[in-house]
Amino acid sequence: MNFNILSLIIFLPALGALIIACISNSRAKLIKYIAAFFTLVPLILGVILFFNFNKSAPLGTMQFQEKASWIPLINAYYHVGLDGISLPLFLLMDFLGFLVVLISWKIDLRPREYFAWLLLLETSILGVFASLDMLLFFIFWEIEVIPMFFLISIWGAGRKEYSALKYVLYTLFGSAMMLAGILCLYFTTHSLDMTYLIQNGIGVNPAVPATLVFFLLLGGFAVKLPVFPLHTWLPDAHTDAPTAVSVVLAGALLKMGGYGMIRICVSFFPTVARQYAPWLIAFAVVNIIYGAAVTLKQTDIKRLIAYSSVSHMGFVLLGIFTLTQVSMVGATMQMVSHGLITGLLFATAGLVMHNAHERDINKLGGLARQIPIITVIFTIAGLGAMGVPGTSGFISEFMVFLGSFGSSVLHAKIFVVIAILGILMGAGYILWLLQRVFYGPPQDKFNGTKDADKLEIFYSALFIVAIFGIGLAPSVLANIIKTGVAAIIH
Amino acid sequence: MDLALITPEISLLATVVIVILLDLFVQQKKILAMVSLAGLAVAFGFSVHLWGGSAQSVFNNMMVMDKFAMFFNLLFCVTAALVVLASSDYILKFDSFQGEYYALILLATTGMMLIAAATDLMTIFAALELISISLYALVGFLKDAKSTESALKYMLLGAIASAILLYGMAFVFGFTGNTQLANIGNTIFNMSLSGVSAAPGLMLGIIFIIVGLGFKIAAFPFQMWVPDVYEGAPTTITAFLSVASKAAGFAIILRIFYTAFNFPTWMSHDWGMIFAILAAIGMTVGNIVAIPQTNIKRMLAYSSIAQAGYLIIGIAVMGFSPALTYLGQSGVLFFLAGYAVTNLGAFIAVIAISDKVGSDRISDYDGMLKTSPMTALALSLCLISLTGIPLTAGFMAKFYIFSSAVQNHLLWLVIIAVLNSVVSAYYYLRVVKVMWLNEPKFEGKVETSFGLKLALGLSCLGILLLGILPNYAMHLATLAAKMFGS
């Protein structure tokens, strides 16, 4: 590609946000169409990128690279590019970016600000996945804080201001640790370029011990993933955010944490990662089991799905730190798959809450009679969350377990066996949720609840096609991810 | 000819005289503002011209016109110009002495320019008094109870600080026999190791100098005057104090400690550690006490104590850095540039909004986004920059100064600083939140004059420029950091 297609994809949503910011709040329809346009074009371009990805390029090369000198004084470049790991996540955000605009179609409170912040959020997440310079990575990482703060605190529900502030403070705390780590990296290597750091790591005998830098950087990613015990922001933020924001939060923002761990923690510090991997796998298992256990107790639909995200991200952490090719490919696929599945779960849960005006599971019941289409969509999403074969959830969890079981990390096998319990508990909470909310005797108070309309069926269909597409033909995605992982784990 | 080298100061003094005389004849006080701006522009032009030349010392080495001094000249001119622009509405509150207001601002700026170039203890003190006395008068300009109380507090505490500073200078003179900074440095360098440790008076003198100058830069534990003085002073003067007077303080601390007290190394490590500890405590105290504030001027006052803490990190870095490296100094200079546009922007927005709602309470800022979107957006941008979120000058400034600290083995200080940034997000975002979320308390737009709009717009432009394309400004800061360099 001769012209800078990657930068175009990254900044088109921001351009859309600027344009929307100048339109008056009364022309909501125009705002929504502009938002849809400025997220559809990046999606189309992203798909073109996907099919232009060269699977047989030499290991470790970044594709679609663009590099321009930015701050020569501190060796900072505007450097973007994609490889096998970042391309699927990049495309996932592209896809979700368009879908959340469709999910938000019915927003009527201050649409101008809502869509402007949403598009700015998309730019920042796309930038995180495409960035190949540490300062640029950090800048894109931080930019998402402000749109999220406004989106949750203005258009959310429940304790929205509290949840928004909690989200901001937690994220900034993690970023503070990450900034210290980046500064240490710069001090010891005088380079902010990720491709250089992947090759050379922190060097021999660095002035700041590699372990300290590893954990400083890991701190930032651990807050985002999230890793127990830094996960307490997640249920509040997910529950109190508006539906579309929950979709982006669960679908893409959590993946930034996992991506950072693979791209930075494991790639730059392979020996430290291998040394502390048993601890991190232990935390992963806590995520899986504790997350699933708490999920079983929930009575609010969105909070239940939020805690299930904690559990599913545990699979990602397990896959990353068992440090085998298969498990890391599985972890990346799990990130993509979870983004789609949980995205659909949140979207549909939002639909149920909006139409039935009820979020408490104890008060819902028997909705299958009144809203059959939503029931079908939710059931399919639930099957994906359980990891039923045919959906992307199965193939990613299977690869994680297959790879982890054969891992050379200390005690990996024991942890994997414990983690498999998580699948059982996952089936438990999903089936229980479906039975209590949709199946069972219909209740009269829900007569006349609106079912999904054409737009909602359309975007749900897109989600489902993607979920089953990856589930039935996983090699399309897995082969691409493998080219990226093979460069890290030999 | 020495006079040709101090053209910026002379042009400002001439402007002061013209403004005072014109005040007697003109009714339209806006003309005085324009004359002041013209004078500042002339001084700016002269400073740019002197920047291009090589470093020259004037008046028998009492002052030196190097890039360091010129950087501060440019910074002070821009700051004073923005304050003058923002004052065009505010000045209607004063029933008299409007000409003197502009003249005092220009006099203070002249003093600041002099102190940035001063290389002799006596010049430093004279310039410091010029700045201080002009500011004492300016703080009390509103002549109501609060303003007069602030002016009195400022004057009393400032006088004590100046006295301690002078006492410290006397000690240093007594033990080194020189008042010129370069000569003091040479004498200490030539003293044997035992000679310096056997001169406790010298150490005491340095400590007293830290105390006296620490007052000016709102360093802990000399920061007690800041909230009261900032709250009572006219908001334009608060802006001027928080940015320009602080920058002048940092200029002279950098100059003194780099030139006179940099050797022996154990001594520079000593005062470097003192500054590091003061920075750590200052940031924490400033940020924590800012959290319960309900008055926006007091909140910004405590925030400026915290920001001073971040700046003092740069001085500590200077103490620990090896000879002939200037990372700490260039970090401080770049941070001052970013801090100037950010803090000025915040205070100018506060001037506009408080004028309309008639109070300084944060809760009265409810729903500002609906009634005055542009002003609320500008204030939000300034607060986000103060937090240190990227794409703003505040983030780049923090990144640069923290980077210089890590490179000089002060990682512990950086970790305290970044944790403090997280704490500060709470109270900055609280103001942003009330403006964006809550229902407006007052109907109608915030009316602002053209001058204020221009000043606010320029500040916001500066924040975004320094945040996205900081390279040129960083380059200028690096050049200026080599004091006395050509």
Taking only the tens place, the pLDDT of each residue in A226-254 is: 998 999 999 999 999 999 999 999 999 99
Sort strands B63-65 and B56-58 into parallel, antiparallel or unpaired.
antiparallel
List the structure tokens of B303.
Answer: 């925030």
Q: Is the pTM of this model over 0.90?
A: yes
**CB-based contact, B470 to chain A, within 8 Å:** yes
**CB-based contact, B471 to chain A, within 8 Å:** yes
- What is the number of other CB atoms lying within 10 angstroms of the CB of residue B443? 7
Closest partner residue to A183 (CB to CB) among B414, B436, B471 is B414
* pLDDT at residue B321 in the model: 87
Overall average pLDDT of the A265-272 stretch: 92
- Partner A, chain B 390-409, Cβ-Cβ below 8 Å: 390-391, 395, 399-400, 402-403, 406-407, 409
- B interface mutation test: which of A78, A137, A172, A208 has the most B CBs within 10 A? A172
* pLDDT at residue B1 in the model: 66
CA dist A438 and A43 (Å) reads: 34
Residues 6+ positions from B325 with CB-CB distance below 8 Å: none
Hey, what amino acid is at A313? M
* pLDDT at residue B192 in the model: 67
Residues 6+ positions from B157 with CB-CB distance below 8 Å: B215, B224, B225
* Residues in chain B closer than 8 A to A149 (CB atoms): 429, 433
**CB-based contact, A105 to chain B, within 8 Å:** no
Q: Quote the ipTM score.
A: 0.90
List the structure tokens of B256.
Answer: 């003194």
Q: Which of B238, B231, B338, B317 is nearest to B273 (CA)?
A: B317
Q: Where are the domains of chain B?
A: 264-486
Q: Give the whole-number percent of chain A exceeding pLDDT 90.
A: 77
CA dist A349 and A381 (Å) reads: 11
* Residues in chain A closer than 8 A to B414 (CB atoms): 180, 183
3-class secondary-structure state, position B169 = helix
Q: How confident is the model at residue A46 (pLDDT cuts 50, 70, 90)?
A: very high
List the structure tokens of A258.
Answer: 């996992």
- Hey, are the CB atoms on A143 and B429 less than 8 Å from each other? no
CA dist A315 and A288 (Å) reads: 7
CA dist B483 and B118 (Å) reads: 12
Taking only the tens place, the pLDDT of each residue in B269-294 is: 988 999 999 999 999 999 999 999 99
Q: How confident is the model at residue A2 (pLDDT cuts 50, 70, 90)?
A: low
CA distance B416 to chain A (A): 10
What does B273-284 look like in DSSP terms, one character per residue? HHHHHHHHHHHH
Q: Is the pLDDT reported for residue A410 higher than 50?
A: yes
Q: Which of A211, A214, A223, A61 is nearest to A132 (CA)?
A: A61
Asked if residue A477 lies in contact with residue A333, where contact means CB atoms within 8 angstroms, the answer is yes
Closest partner residue to A168 (CB to CB) among B414, B429, B475 is B429
- What is the number of other CB atoms lying within 10 angstroms of the CB of residue B108? 28
List the structure tokens of A39.
Answer: 């997220």
CA dist A360 and A429 (Å) reads: 15
Beta strands in A2-160 (DSSP E): 63-71, 76-82
**B57, β-bridge pairs:** B64
Low-confidence residues of chain B, pLDDT below 70? 1, 192, 196-198, 485-486
Q: Give the whole-number percent of chain A exceeding pLDDT 70.
A: 100
Opening angle at CA A434, ends A431 and A438, nearest 5: 155
* pLDDT at residue A450 in the model: 85
Q: B200-216 and B246-259 helices cross at what angle (nearest 10)?
A: 160
Residue A73 DSSP code: G
Output the CA torsion sign for A452, A457, A458, A461.
positive
- Hey, are the CB atoms on B407 and A150 less than 8 Å from each other? no
Sort strands A63-71 and B56-58 into parallel, antiparallel or unpaired.
unpaired
Closest partner residue to A186 (CB to CB) among B403, B421, B429 is B403
Hey, what amino acid is at B482? K
- Region class of A411: left (phi > 0), else alpha (psi between -120 and 50), else beta: left
Q: Which of B251, B249, B270, B253 is nearest to B320 (CA)?
A: B270
Q: Is the pLDDT reported for residue A11 higher than 90?
A: yes
Q: Which of A481, A409, A484 is nearest to A194 (CA)?
A: A484
- What is the number of other CB atoms lying within 10 angstroms of the CB of residue B358? 9
* Residues in chain B closer than 8 A to A71 (CB atoms): 470-471, 474
CA dist A154 and B430 (Å) reads: 13
**B118, β-bridge pairs:** B63
A6 vs A71, A94, A429, B217, B444, CA distance in Å? Answer: 21, 12, 40, 46, 44
* pLDDT at residue A230 in the model: 93
* pLDDT at residue A482 in the model: 92
Q: Is the pLDDT reported for residue A257 higher than 90?
A: yes
**CB-based contact, B422 to chain A, within 8 Å:** yes
Q: Is the pLDDT reported for residue A100 higher than 60?
A: yes
Residues 6+ positions from A205 with CB-CB distance below 8 Å: none
Taking only the tens place, the pLDDT of each residue in A112-125 is: 999 999 999 999 99
Overall average pLDDT of the A163-167 stretch: 94
